[in-house]
Amino acid sequence: MSEVRIPAFAKINLRLDILGKRADGFHELRTIFQTISVHDELRLRTSRRPAITLTVEGNQPLSAEPVEKNLVYRAVDALQRELRIRGGVEIELSKAIPAGRGLGGGSSDAAAALRGYLRLAKKTLSAARLMEICSSLGADVPFFLFGGRALGVNKGDEIYPLPDIPKLHVLVVSPKKIHVSTPDAYRWVKARPVGLTKFAGTSKLFEFCALCWSGPGSGLSNDFEGAVFRRHPRLDQIKRELLQKGAAGASLAGSGSAVFGVFPSPATARRAAVGFPHDQTFVCETVSRERYARLMRIAE
């Protein structure tokens, strides 16, 4: 029986700008994705049964969903249809990335499932077609095909690699009792149509372009913070506490509810983590694109 093991890494957004709401109902984004070392793990095995079976252990969503709606299941199902494969596959997903915290766990799992299943089936697919499948699964999924540091535009699904920055030491704080759904976060922001915010949007765009070329010392920013913090003041408090405990910068992760801080060393991050005894914490580091590719290849 053939088997493949592959990690699925989390992400943070070093910058997330919402330029406005588009005519198609989606939001026009500019974001800088960054892989971090917190990760789930997938194990894929061939099966004699002509079906996809998926079991999930560890950090899971508050409400269970049918297995057919899980992004890992949908990713493998889409790939089997694309490649016209009928053979069965057993998938075990071990979750470490908390769900619904803005860390991209589900999207990363989907991208890892695609890469893992291609390896298991000993098949190849063009990068362009693989990106199309990823985009059909979710806006964040294409980023996780390559990882590292990257620019996301449009809905966040159009990805351009950016130069990697020196390793950053990160403390992620995931409050156990606060969940923020992405649709709710977008409603709270109340972004205006893109065409009506041309001047402001253009100003933000120039600022964002400058940031893409800046060094690691550039400030963190997330347009979700104002609306999300108003509804969940505890998240604003976590951010302020991270800064008080020595973080050089702190920000909401995606649309939340996790908050992260960037620290000068792993030791200072670990000391800061002690101050959040009632929350789930992860002391981790950023992962470069080269290291991401290496880890994805050797994790079999």
What are the residue numbers of the active site? 11, 140
Residues 44 and 163: beta-carbon distance below 8 Å: no
Residue 133: φ, ψ to 5°: -65, -45
Q: Closest Cα to residue 95, out of 2, 7, 4, 5?
A: 7
Return the structure tokens found at 243.
């800064």
Q: Closest Cα to residue 13, out of 119, 136, 201, 139?
A: 139
Residues β-bridged to residue 159: 152
> How many CB atoms within 10 Å of residue 67?
15
* Whole-number Cα distances in Å, 102 to 70, 99, 148, 185, 191: 17, 8, 17, 11, 19
